[in-house]
Amino acid sequence: MTVWPSLVPRGQPAPRAQMLRAQTRTELTLLLRNGEQVLLTLVIPLGLLVILSTVPIINVTGRRVDFFVPGVLALAVMSAAFTGQAIGTGFERQYGVLKRLGATPLPRSVLLLAKTSAVLLVEVLQVTLICLVGLLLGWHPHGNVLGVIAFVALGTAAFSGLGLLLGGTLRGLTTLAAANLLWFVLLSVGGIVYPLSELGGAEGVLRRLPTAALSDGLRQLLQHGSFAGWDLLALALWAVAGLATASRLFRWE
């Protein structure tokens, strides 16, 4: 006698781990299909690295490529986790995508974690390409891989929380304008490509930004081989505050 499987749907949602895997796969696919985000997260950082390392536009101490590779790594993290994440989430809300997700058993925390996990996977490709181009340009890294992973992971969490907060509370077009404006501002005065020591009295305030903590931490590690614990702590505080606030204020529509 043939035993047919039951066609009665389950009365409870899937386990959270299974939901997280499925949603992360979906978010990663959407990220890689978006040409504008690929341009923002991959092409622009690589182009800036080549230009800044070979053309003396900005005066820096030491070898140019050794100074700019850590900064461009920080820029790549900010581009993927903050700017791209905020814009994508903002338009998903505007087009009703998140409203439909809100009608499913998918918890808000799992959605935010899936988006952050997808960004981390994209950053593996970013970091690999930037390091390869840096080595071709004559980069001589110091420090250790675990330290770089810690800074990139906490930097991603910090910027992802801020990006989800922006995209989860503002309208799509407002998020687009705000995220791009903040990207240019932080690129200019966030310690990514321009030494904060050249900014005079504003240095003390700007060093509290997550961009400064990430770029300075990576620079100290990769350029000088020293571990900047305070920068790592600052990123951890930004990550906790950003993700907690985003989880609390995030709106599906």
- For the segment 66-79, the average pLDDT, to the nearest whole number, is 93
pLDDT, tens digit, for every residue of 98-153? 888 777 888 877 887 888 788 888 889 899 999 999 999 999 998 888 999 999 99
pLDDT, tens digit, for every residue of 155-200? 999 998 999 899 888 888 899 899 999 999 998 888 888 888 777 7
Q: Say how far apart CA 172 and CA 166 lie, in whole Å.
A: 10
Q: What is the largest CA-CA distance in the chain?
A: 84
Between these two residues, 7 and 235, which has the higher pLDDT value? 235
Show the 3-state SS of the chain.
CCCCCCCCCCCCCCCHHHHHHHHHHHHHHHHHHCHHHHHHHHHHHHHHHHHHHHCCCCCCCCCHHHHHHHHHHHHHHHHHHHHHHHHHHHHHHHCCHHHHHHCCCCCHHHHHHHHHHHHHHHHHHHHHHHHHHHHHCCCCCCCCHHHHHHHHHHHHHHHHHHHHHHHCCCCHHHHHHHHHHHHHHHHHHCCCCCCHHHHHHHHHHHCCCHHHHHHHHHHHHHHHCCCCHHHHHHHHHHHHHHHHHHHHHCCCC
Q: Say how far apart CA 107 and CA 115 lie, in whole Å.
A: 13
Most confident of 35-39, 190-194, 227-231, 232-236: 232-236
pLDDT, tens digit, for every residue of 46-64? 999 999 999 988 888 888 9
pTM of the model: 0.87
- Predicted confidence (pLDDT) at residue 5 exceeds the cutoff of 60: no
Residue 191 burial (C-beta neighbours within 10 Å; 0-12, 13-18, 19+): buried
- Predicted confidence (pLDDT) at residue 249 exceeds the cutoff of 90: no
- Predicted confidence (pLDDT) at residue 3 exceeds the cutoff of 60: no
Q: Say how far apart CA 93 and CA 155 lie, in whole Å.
A: 25
Assign 10 a pLDDT band (cuts: 50, 70, 90). Answer: low
